[in-house]
Amino acid sequence: MSQRSEIWLDGLPTVALPLPDRGFDFGDGVFETILVHQGVPLFVDLHLERLSLGLKALAIPNCTALARHQLDTVVSTMQGRWAVLRLSVSRGHGHRGYTPPDNAVPRILITVSQLDRDCGQMASAAMLCFAKIRLATQPFLAGIKHLNRLEQVIASAQAKAERVDEAVVLDQSGHLVSVVAGNLFLVYQGKLLTPKLDNCGILGTRRRLVIERWAPALGLTVNEAILTVADLQAAEEVFYSNSLQAVRPIARIGQHSWNAHGVCEAIFQCYQADLV
């Protein structure tokens, strides 16, 4: 759970966003959610790499270096053991209408919230539902973390209404994509599987760490594949990853449940080792 929040705009403390802004008007921008541990933003290079890719995809001037400078300045003032920092970049001011301005000046918005949960300890096994809304197919935007999040808002509202922790989201063909705020992993016959994200979904930083660092450290290879609900139900273990949880085991999705969480626990121990 978060407590108080503080906001910086273009490097200065603020309580208001100047309007008009294309991020507010059209969702014209990208963002990153960064966990901060004892004043250190975790895996920040991976976040800024994805931020840069998102800016390139949207043809927003690349302000990643400036964003890093402002982020470092904000983090240097922070206190507390755990905090979450949201770094948003919008295209900034623009005239009326969809067409972007020729000389856009991006705005960098940083919001910091203190956390009272110990993110160094694995969260309890989660209860999930299947989201009724399905993600739109849009390969051009697949992978990046753009500001358009209405699908996630609707799915998250459903999860709250059903009193579960998260929701599994599918694509228009009924294939697995992710959870609302994270990436999905299945353990099946000793193999670690995760959905391919060619058409929709976000390429999470913790997903990347599981694939490139934490799973290989355990002698596991992660295969990206087109996965179905039947694959999910046949899995021996299921978990998800995101910036705040690292990895979290899943106990139940709908009527299907899992008691084994050994792979998730081992991967979380790799994450803990990276915190030292």
Q: What is the pLDDT of residues 140-170, one digit of tens each?
A: 999 999 999 999 999 999 999 999 999 999 9
Q: Give me the percent of the chain exceeding a pLDDT of 90.
A: 93
Q: Considering the domain boundaries, does residue 121 fall inside one?
A: no
Strand 12-13 relative to strand 2-9, pairing:
antiparallel
> Domain containing 80: what range?
2-115
Confidence label for 95 from pLDDT (cuts 50, 70 and 90): confident
Q: Is the dihedral of CA 207, 209, 211, 212 positive or negative?
A: positive
Q: Which of 69, 89, 115 is the last residue of a domain?
A: 115
Q: Can you give the CATH number for the domain in which 207 is found? A: 3.20.10.10
Residue 44 pLDDT more than 80?
yes
Residue 2: pLDDT over 60: no
User: In this structure, are 58 and 139 located in the same domain?
Assistant: no
Residues 28 and 64 in one domain: yes
Name the pTM for this structure: 0.94
Band of residue 276 on the pLDDT scale cut at 50, 70, 90: confident
Instruction: Assess whether 259 and 132 both reside in one domain.
Output: yes
Domain shared by 57 and 139, yes or no: no
Residue 258 pLDDT exceeds 90? yes
Distance, first Cα to last Cα, the chain: 23
- How many domains does the chain contain in total? 2
Q: Which two tokens stand for residue 246?
A: 């690292």
pLDDT at 128 over 50: yes
User: What pLDDT is attached to residue 16?
Assistant: 86
Would you state the pLDDT for residue 4?
58
Of 115, 142, 161, which residue constitutes the final position of a domain?
115
Q: Taking the alpha carbons of 72, 74, 79, 85 in that order, is the dihedral positive or negative?
A: negative
SS (H, E, C) the chain: CEEEEEEEECCEECCCCCCCCHHHHHCCEEEEEEEEECCEECCHHHHHHHHHHHHHHCCCCCCHHHHHHHHHHHHCCCCCCEEEEEEEEECCCCCCCCCCCCCCCCEEEEEEEEECCCCCCCCCCEEEEECCCCECCCHHHCECCECCCHHHHHHHHHHHHCCCCEEEEEECCCCEEEECCEEEEEEECCEEEEECCCCCCECCHHHHHHHHHHHHHCCCCEEEECCCHHHHHHCCEEEEEECCCEEEEEEEECCEECCCCHHHHHHHHHHHHHHC
Specify burial of residue 42 (Cβ count, 10 A radius: 0-12, 13-18, 19+): buried
What does the pLDDT look like over 45-90, one tens digit per residue?
999 999 999 999 999 999 999 999 999 999 998 888 999 999 999 9
Give the pair of three-digit tokens for residue 154: 């609707």
Please indicate, yes or no, whether residues 131 and 205 belong to a single structural domain of this protein: yes
Rounded to 10°, the helix 44-57/64-75 angle is 140
- In degrees and rounded to multiples of 5, residue 94 shows phi and psi of -160, 160
For residue 38, being part of any structural domain is answered with yes
Q: Are 266 and 218 in contact (CB under 8 A)?
A: yes
> Around Cβ 257, how many Cβ atoms within 10 Å?
12
